[in-house]
Amino acid sequence: MGIGDPLEISGSELVHILRTPSELFASGGCIVLDCRPFLAFSRAHILESRNVNWNSMLRRRSKSSVVCLEWLVADKSLLAQLRNGDFSPVVVLDDNSRSVRDLKSESGFDGFFALYPELCFSPTVMCSNHPALSDSEPIVSGRKTPLYDQGGPVEILPFLFLGSAHHSSRREALERCGITAVLNVSSSCPNLFEEELQYKTLKVEDSLAADIRVLFPEAIHFIDSIKESGGRVLVHCQAGISRSATICLAYLIHDRRVSLDEAFDFVKRRRQVISPNLAFMGQLLQFETDVLCG
């Protein structure tokens, strides 16, 4: 099947395409590939669009060599569908540029969102309906609950949550978030609901001497298995600041093919107290290089 030259389209033309029943297309219908950074995509995006990895590293690489499709599309199922020609048309956009040469459609997402907000989605980032601090976090012996234990688990992705050991001990909060599994990244935190939830413990200390990177494959595999089963997993350590945050950052780098800086900003917007120790940050940088440059 031949591929013609890309065409620029307006926002109104994209609306027409999106509202056309899929059975009227020669292939399986339209797909929108959003080339904006993962952080921007997470704030708002066109309904049913998919984020692809058109980052600065790949843009530099594209000037001297061909960029492979698998570098752009982390989702293996989507990659196979694109290779098979299962979608037509394929619409590619970024923020607001007009250059087809840069894989960007006319007006970009910013213009489209301003005109057609009803066709866009802005996901929530907090576990919904969790009680306010005054209702759920009593003051004990005149001392308030530590900041890292306040509120509830935060949603990183629809199937991935981050929190502290305290959050993992609150059964009602876990139920509200739909948590079905817990990844315990500590050497001492207990697993309290083993008869009701699926657990995995990765024992590691929050130490500059600890090698947490060796645990990344096992952690990623566990999170993926929960995702594929339709469940939701809470990743926690003692405070939800260093070890569990590191695992969530590694997962984003691997699953979304984003830089450490982008992943860190994304997670910190959801849980401001995160602060992996310096050794863990160094190991994440090494992991980033392996994933994005491998």
Domain ranges within the chain, ordered by starting residue: 11-121, 133-293
Q: Is the pLDDT of residue 142 over 60?
A: no
Of these residues, 68, 237, 248, 293, which one is catalytic?
Answer: 237
Per-residue pLDDT at 294:
66
CA atoms of 174 and 197, how far apart (whole Å): 10
Q: Within its chain, how far is the Cα of 258 from the centroid?
A: 9
Q: Is the pLDDT of residue 237 over 60?
A: yes
3.90.190.10, 3.90.79.10, 3.40.47.10, 3.40.50.2000: CATH of 133-293 = 3.90.190.10
Q: Is the pLDDT of residue 248 over 50?
A: yes
Range in 38-47, 149-158, 230-239, 245-254 with the lowest mean pLDDT? 38-47
pLDDT classification of 118: cutoffs 50, 70, 90:
confident
Per-residue pLDDT at 1:
42
Q: Is the pLDDT of residue 293 over 90?
A: no
Q: Which range, 71-75, 83-87, 183-187, 288-292, is most confident?
A: 183-187
Mean pLDDT of 229-256: 97
161 backbone φψ class: left, alpha, beta (φ>0; ψ -120 to 50): beta
Contact 8, 105 (CB under 8 A): yes
pLDDT classification of 212: cutoffs 50, 70, 90:
very high
Per-residue pLDDT at 116:
85
Q: Which fold has domain 11-121?
A: Oxidized Rhodanese; domain 1 (3.40.250)
pLDDT classification of 8: cutoffs 50, 70, 90:
confident
Average pLDDT, the chain: 83
Q: Which range, 21-35, 144-158, 221-235, is most confident?
A: 221-235
As a whole number of Å, the end-to-end CA separation of the chain is 30
Per-residue pLDDT at 143:
55
Q: Is the pLDDT of residue 54 over 50?
A: yes
pLDDT classification of 59: cutoffs 50, 70, 90:
low
Per-residue pLDDT at 139:
42
Q: Is the pLDDT of residue 201 over 90?
A: yes
| 237 noted as active-site residue | yes
Per-residue pLDDT at 92:
86
Q: Is the pTM of this model over 0.85?
A: no
pLDDT in tens, 81-106: 888 888 878 888 877 654 444 434 44
CA atoms of 171 and 290, how far apart (whole Å): 38
Per-residue pLDDT at 73:
82
Per-residue pLDDT at 93:
82
Return the percentage of the chain with pLDDT > 90, whole number.
46
Mean pLDDT of 228-232: 97
Range in 35-39, 151-155, 197-201, 270-274 with the lowest mean pLDDT? 35-39
Per-residue pLDDT at 280:
97
